Amino acid sequence: MTELSRIDVKSHPLREQLYNELHIRPFHAISTPQHVSYLAIRAQKAEQDQALELLRQLCERFNVPAPELKAAGFRENFGDFTLQWERHVEFYSLTIMQPCPAEDDPFRHTALELLPGDWLAAQPGEVVAAFHIAVVGADCPMDEEALQRYFEGHRRISISQVKQGKATLHSAFRLHEDGFGRFLICDRGLSNVRMGRLVRRLIEVETYRLFTMLALPLAKQIAPQLVEMDQQLASFLTELPKIENSEDERDLLLKLSQLEARLETWRTRTNRRFSGAKAYHEMVQDRLGRIAEEKVEGFTTLGEFMRRRLDPALRTCVSVQSWMDDLSQRIKRASDLLRTRANLNLQEQNRSLLAAMNRRSRLQFRLQETVEGLSVVAISYYLVGLLKHLFSALPLASWGVDKAVAVGVSVPLVLIGVLWLTRRIKHRLIKGSIHGEAQQDGDCSP
C-alpha cells in the first residue's frame, strides 16, 4: 500500500499501475534507414510467462539487464539491434530494430537474422503476424521495376502517402518466400519521432487486421452447420401439430434439447473469438485514421485494400453470430411451446383423473352409507334378539304385558338408539381426524 506524502489518506493499491498503464507501449524514435522485424505470437498466459523467461535467458546471453518476472513490456539495446517485447491479452510480440546502411534491396537482410536461431525456435505459441518493415531514404529506387524486385514479383501493390507527403507506404499484403509479409516506408523528410509513431501504428494495423481475420475461418466452418440446424428446427416445428401422445412429445423435446446443446457448444467456442474480432476491427479503423493516408493516383491505399476485404469478413462473422443468437431464441421458443403443450395435456389428464377420483369417492360414500345402514339393521336385529331372551326371563304376564307386544315396541326404539349411537361415533371420529390434521400442519409450519 502506497502512502501519500502530503495528505493522510490511503492510496488505492492499483493507483501506480493505472498511471503506468499509459506508458506501457510508448512510441520510440526510428532513424532512417532502418530494418524492423515483427512477430505476434498467439499464446496462453502460461506460454507468455515461458516466453518472458526465454527473454530473460537471452538478456543473460547478451549481458544486458533482464526484465522483471511480471513485466508487461521490455525494450533494450542489445548492441547491434534493439529488441522490444510486449505482453498482450492473447498474444505476445517481438519487435527487432536495426539501423542499417542504404542497400539496393532493403529486404536482402532483415533484423530478425540477428537473433539466435535456437532461441527463436524455442518460442512457445503460434505465430499469427510476421512481417518485415524497411525504412529507406528518398534516394532508394521506387520505380515499378524496383518495387517488383522488393516484393518478389507481386504486381498488386498498395501505395499511399502520409504526413503531407513526407513518407510513402508500400505493401503487397502477401507472404513472401521467407514466410513473412513486407512493408516498405520511404522517408521523404519525416522526423525520427514521427517515423517511430508511423511504424508503431503500421505494426498495430497489420497485427490487429490478422487477429480480426482469425474469426473468418471459424465463421465459414459454422455456417453450413447452422443451415443444417435451421432445417432440423423447421422439420421439428412441422412435426409439432402432428403429435398425438406424450411419448412423441418427450421424443421431440429430447431432439430440441440435443439441438440446443449443439448450438450452445458452438456459441461457447466462438463468442470470445467473434467479440475479439469486433474489438480488433475497431482498433484497425482507429490506427488507419491516425495514419491519415493520402491516395496516390493509380494505386489503392493500404486502408482501402484492408477495408475492402476486412469489412466483409467482419460482417460475415457478425452475421454468423447473429444467426446463432436468432437460432438459439427460436429453439428456446419451440421448446417452451412444446413444454406448454405438454403441461396442458398433463393438466387435462389431471382433471380427468380428479373427476374419476370424485366419481369413485361418491360411489365409495354411497357404498359406505349402504354398509352403515345394513350394520344398523344387523346390530338392531341382534339387540332385539337379546331383548327377546330378556323378556322371556321376566314375568311379563303377571305385569299384564304381552311378550310379543314388548318385543314389537322395542324394535323401533333399538333402531333409533343404534342409529344415534353410530352417527355419534362417526361424528367423533371425523372431528378427531380434522383436529389431528390441523395439529400436524401447525407442527410443520415455520
CB environment 210-228: b (16+ within 10 A), e (fewer): bbbbbbbebbeebeeebee
- Cβ–Cβ contacts within 10 Å for residue 431, how many? 10
pLDDT at residue 220 above 80?
yes
pLDDT at residue 118 above 90?
yes
Higher pLDDT, 203 or 348: 203
Residue with cell 516466453: 51
pLDDT at residue 8 above 70?
no
Predicted local distance difference test score (pLDDT) of residue 435: 64
Mean pLDDT, to the nearest integer, of 199-210? Answer: 94
Predicted local distance difference test score (pLDDT) of residue 1: 42
238-249: pLDDT as tens digits: 877 777 777 777
CA dihedral 204, 206, 210, 212 (to 10 degrees): 60
Q: Where are the domains of the chain?
A: 26-210, 215-351
pLDDT at residue 343 above 60?
yes
Would you place residue 202 in the very low, low, confident or very high pLDDT band (cuts 50, 70, 90)?
very high
Higher pLDDT, 34 or 306: 34
pLDDT at residue 28 above 80?
yes
Instruction: Name the range with the highest mean pLDDT among 73-77, 338-342, 402-406.
Output: 73-77
- Angle at CA 212, nearest 5°, toward 207 and 213? 100
Mean pLDDT, to the nearest integer, of 91-113? Answer: 89
CA atoms within 13 A on the CB side of 255: 16
Strands 91-99 and 34-42 come out as: antiparallel
Single pTM value for the model: 0.74
CA dihedral 42, 46, 48, 50 (to 10 degrees): -130
Predicted local distance difference test score (pLDDT) of residue 436: 61
Q: What is the mean pLDDT of the chain?
A: 84
Would you place residue 351 in the very low, low, confident or very high pLDDT band (cuts 50, 70, 90)?
confident
- Cβ–Cβ contacts within 10 Å for residue 148, how many? 14
Which of 292, 215, 229 lies closest to 258 in space, CA to CA?
A: 229
As given in the structure block, the three cell numbers for residue 309 are: 476485404
Q: 3-state DSSP call for residue 102?
A: coil
pLDDT at residue 5 above 60?
no
As given in the structure block, the three cell numbers for residue 153 are: 514479383
Would you place residue 23 in the very low, low, confident or very high pLDDT band (cuts 50, 70, 90)?
low
Higher pLDDT, 306 or 94: 94
Q: 3-state DSSP call for residue 107?
A: coil
Q: Residue 83 and residue 59: Cα distance in Å, rounded?
A: 10
Reported in sequence order, the residue ranges of 108-244 that DSSP labels E, i.e. its strands, are 126-136, 158-162, 167-171, 181-187
Q: 3-state DSSP call for residue 113?
A: helix
Polymer length of the chain: 446
Predicted local distance difference test score (pLDDT) of residue 168: 93
Higher pLDDT, 3 or 203: 203
Predicted local distance difference test score (pLDDT) of residue 438: 58
Report the DSSP beta bridge partners of residue 98: 35
Contact 169, 293 (CB under 8 A): yes
Higher pLDDT, 392 or 192: 192
| CA 218 distance to own-chain centroid | 15
241-296: pLDDT as tens digits: 777 777 777 788 888 888 888 888 888 888 899 999 999 999 999 999 999 899 98
Contacts with 344 (C-beta within 8 Å, 6 or more apart), sequence order: none
Q: Residue 282 and residue 209: Cα distance in Å, rounded?
A: 10
Predicted local distance difference test score (pLDDT) of residue 82: 94
Would you place residue 135 in the very low, low, confident or very high pLDDT band (cuts 50, 70, 90)?
very high
Mean pLDDT, to the nearest integer, of 412-436? Answer: 74
Long-range contacts of 244-248 (CB under 8 A, 24+ apart): 246/342, 246/345
**Sign of the CA dihedral running 223, 229, 232, 237:** negative
368-402: pLDDT as tens digits: 777 777 777 777 777 777 777 777 777 766 776 77
Amino acid sitting at position 106? P
94 to 82, 120, 272, 318: CA distances (angstroms): 10, 10, 24, 31
As given in the structure block, the three cell numbers for residue 119 are: 532461441
Mean pLDDT, to the nearest integer, of 33-53? Answer: 95
- Angle at CA 126, nearest 5°, toward 123 and 129? 100
Q: Among 34-38, 182-186, 203-207, 336-340, where is mean pLDDT lowest?
A: 336-340
Contact 87, 13 (CB under 8 A): no
